[in-house]
Structure 1
Amino acid sequence: MTPKKVWLLLLLLLFTPPILVHTSAADFDLDIQPTYRKIRAGESTYFDIDLVVLDPTFTNDVYLTAYFEPPASSITFSDNPLNPTGDTDSVMTITTSVTTPPGLYTITIRGRDPITDQNVYVDVTLEILPPYSPGFALSITPSQVTVMKGGKATFTVQAAPYYGFSYPIYLRLICPACASYSFTPNPMCPGTAVCCCPAIPCYVYTSQLVIDTSDMDPGNYSVVVEGCYNGACTRAYATLTVTEVPQP
């Protein structure tokens, strides 16, 4: 064989993915539940793996390996190897990132006994959806304020970011339309609080809204605050009651 052919053969062996031959003639098997999971990119999921002994005399270690994991992801086993007289179950955790491409992935788990050279292969399916888009939820407290005409009503505006949102939020008062008002600060910027879970809102944006009622007639008013960033807006609502000034 010429040197050129040798190099071509080595390149083919290097870049050709492994071919897994599924065999069933073994002293053990793997039971994996569930066989299908669906998550979004950036999330994690798990599969339960149980070692099933088919030959009562089998006592060797069974080593677990996962093949064909999605890009930008990792796979770990809580217990590895498994053994009929010791740890017979393991939890396989798959952790993805927001850069993991969406799609349907078939992941092959191999159980191998290196002493007898026995192998068992089981497939599971993981469907990965696109990641959630960063955003925020807006709120106003208190939900109702009563002041006499000419007084100032004060509300606290808060924003709860989720899925990594960390941008300034620009505020404006939609209603009452003709009221004189101010936000301090505006825009709102993230504070120092830390969100423990990206899917659960935690309030780290705060601004104070002050509405001057000097030019407002007595009555009930809907307070509508809008917060926006880069064209994406959300609103929060409260009620303002302006009362008559008592006559002397």
Structure 2
Amino acid sequence: MRNSRSAFSAASALHRVFIAPLAQSGYRSLQHNLRLRPCHFPKLLLTQQRCYAAPPPVRRLPRDDEIKARMIRVVGEDGRLKEPQQTFEVLDSLDRNLESLVVVDPGGNGSPPICKIINKKAARQAEKARKAVKNPGAVVKTIELNWAIDMNDLGHRLNKMKEFLSKGNKVELVLASKRKGRKASPEEADVVLGKIRTAISEVEGAKESKEMEGKILGHATLFIQGKA
């Protein structure tokens, strides 16, 4: 029994002398490393998403296959409302190349939409005219003259030119000689050009937008900008 206690005491002594200091040293080293070594965490990559709003829809009433109502009433050529008709029957009766069915009143409260059959070509011309009113400078008017023009006739043409220019329109004034008929002299051609430029100066804000193209007594074009 004494021998086993002696062996245990010797083992404990050896552990305290050799093993414990190493263990404590290792633990302190581990603590030191943990204090000094920064912790690196994986960065979350945030992707920036940019959202683009869709363009706002064109605000207009439905037409043709956009009309979802089963029944409609059509305005006749005489301006009177016809009896309710099935939409698909009206669409089937149209020449789609020339005509379009357009809602003019969406209806509601049990009343079917009111529609009108329009001529596509006439509608395009009306839209073009509407835009021309909003931006008269985009409209180009052409006036043709000949160098040997009668002075009374020239006066009428120039009055028309001044009318266009006063509205803000552009005017292209084309001068040429007739294949048949009297030929103008250089002096007459100078008089015609002089009267044209005098008429331009009489419209406030009107001016030649660039130099005349062509030649006197030949084919020539003057480019005139109306008032802003």
TM-score, length of structure 2 as denominator length: 0.25
Higher strand share: 1
> Which has the higher relative contact order, 1 or 2, with Cα contacts under 8 A spaced 6 or more apart?
1
Higher helix share: 2
TM-score, length of structure 1 as denominator length: 0.23
